[in-house]
Amino acid sequence: MTAWRTAAGLLLVLGAAAGTVTDRLPERSATHAGGYRLLSGDFHVHGFPGDGGLPPWSMRDEARRAGLDLFANTNHNQPVTGLFAQWVGGWSEGPLVIAGEEVTSAEYHLIAVGIHSRVSSDQPAARAIEAIHAQGGVAIAAHPVKSFHGWTDEAIAMLDGAEVAHPLIERGEPQRQELMAFYERGRRLNPHLAAIGSSDVHTTPTMGECRTLLFAGELSAGSVLDAIRKGRTVAMDRQGRLYGPPELVRLAAPQRPVARTDPHPAYRRLSSGTALLGGLGVLLFGRRRTAG
């Protein structure tokens, strides 16, 4: 049993060491277009503790691998995790973290970015948007497909942005057309409505799969929120298709970012598997027999 314990411990150490050696997080250089800094962001990310799988420090690493400059932590109906992630993000250099919440109602889902207290979902969408704006945040319609019936013209006209690039579109052209139709309806009611791309990631390593390209003055929460309010955004889906005002799409297209940088995925998977086997072995063989 001692030999098995030793072997399991070695596997755990080797797996962790291999992952540490091969996991080199890429640095992202600043990109500019149209007189602005062009930022890459994901405004719909779920984290732990809550309804996501990754804690704040791991989410920042994933954001780097995805080539993101920033992301918003938006757990369902609570901003506590987002506020914690934003606080942790201030400890070191890395992607900007902005606190948020996914206001989740049976009639609508609404992303609140840049808030500091919970926004109740037990109210019409227009009133929830008012509550977000009262906190200085921006309101983004989350995956607004036809099954959500709470989007009145009043509410849509008050929105700052709408998700037009979302993993839902991978299910088929009808879903893509529904998101496009909502965005076009929104632009008629509010010409400054921002095109938003989001991953809606919970547990899978797909942060930045769909993303938002922002024409911002600088990498700061204030500048990011201002870019959304003024509609200076382009959404990008998993296929690299761009959505938004034609003039901004033309500016963003030459600077289209690589979706993900992960130079050693095989090693990372091998190291994770080795460490997992070692950890299970330690748990299985780590109990010492006691005399009866």
Dist. CA 113–CA 225, nearest whole Å:
8
3-class SS letters over the chain: CHHHHHHHHHHHHHHHHHHHHHCCCCCCCCCEECCEEEEEEEEEECCCCCCCCCCHHHHHHHHHHCCCCEEEEEEECCCHHHHHHHHHHCCCCCCEEEEEEEEECCCCEEEEECCCCCCCCCCCHHHHHHHHHHCCCEEEECCCCCCCCCCCHHHHHHCCEEEEECHHHHHCHHHHHHHHHHHHHHHHHCCCCEEEECCCECCCCCCCCCEEEEEECCCCHHHHHHHHHCCCEEEECCCCCEECCHHHHHHHHHHCCCCCCCCCHHHHHHHHHHHHHHHHHHHHHCCCCCCC
Cis peptide before 49 (omega within 30 of 0): yes
Phi and psi angles of residue 248, each rounded to the nearest 5 degrees, phi first:
-75, -35
Chunked into runs of 10 residues, the chain (292 residues) has average pLDDT values of 58 44 58 92 96 92 94 97 94 93 98 98 98 98 96 98 96 94 98 97 90 97 98 96 96 76 50 47 52 36
- The residues spanned by each domain of the chain are 1-24+264-292, 27-262
pLDDT tens by residue, 123-175: 999 999 999 999 999 999 999 999 999 999 999 999 999 999 999 998 999 99
φ/ψ bin of 219: left (φ > 0), alpha (ψ from -120 to 50), beta (otherwise): beta
pLDDT of res. 12: 40
Dist. CA 145–CA 132, nearest whole Å:
22
Per DSSP bridges, beta strands 96-104 and 194-197 are unpaired
Dist. CA 156–CA 188, nearest whole Å:
10
Phi and psi angles of residue 132, each rounded to the nearest 5 degrees, phi first:
-65, -45
At 188, list the tokens: 């008629």
pLDDT tens by residue, 190-209: 999 999 999 999 988 889 99
CATH 3.20.20.140 applies to domain 27-262: yes
Dist. CA 121–CA 245, nearest whole Å:
31
Q: Taking the model in full, what pTM does it have?
A: 0.82
User: Sign of the CA dihedral 252, 254, 259, 264?
Assistant: negative
Phi and psi angles of residue 57, each rounded to the nearest 5 degrees, phi first:
-65, -35
What angle, rounded to 10 degrees, do the helices at 2-22 and 265-285 form? 160
